[in-house]
């Protein structure tokens, strides 16, 4: 979820941005839609400073959050 962005390592790789919904009663995250795929030599820094964050936020529906994932590439 939005807080997980800080947990992504400062490593080279691919990153993925999703709209998601968090059900606090079930402690479950449901991915809704893939919003963006990118690559960077420092995925953590890139996600913390991405210029498209406002655009991603504008595409969210009521109750949705941004979720982030990554895959290290060597």
pLDDT at 74: 81
User: Average pLDDT for residues 65-74, to the nearest whole number?
Assistant: 92
Torsion angles phi and psi, residue 41, rounded to 5: -80, -20
Closest by CA position to 10, among listed 43, 46, 50: 43
pLDDT tens by residue, 15-30: 999 999 999 999 999 9
Torsion sign, CA atoms 61, 17, 42, 6: positive
User: For residue 65, what pLDDT band results from cuts at 50, 70 and 90?
Assistant: very high
CB-CB neighbours of 17 under 10 Å: 22
pTM above 0.95, yes or no: no
What percentage of the chain carries pLDDT values higher than 70?
A: 96
Distance CA 5, CA 57 (A): 14
């Amino acid at each position: 979820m939005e807080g997980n962005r800080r947990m992504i390592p400062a490593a080279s790789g691919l990153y993925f941005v999703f709209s998601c919904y968090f059900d606090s009663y079930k402690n479950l995250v449901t991915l809704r839609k893939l919003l963006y795929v990118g690559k960077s030599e420092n995925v953590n820094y890139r996600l913390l400073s991405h210029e498209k964050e406002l655009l991603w936020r504008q595409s969210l529906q009521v109750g949705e959050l941004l979720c982030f994932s990554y895959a290290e590439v060597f």
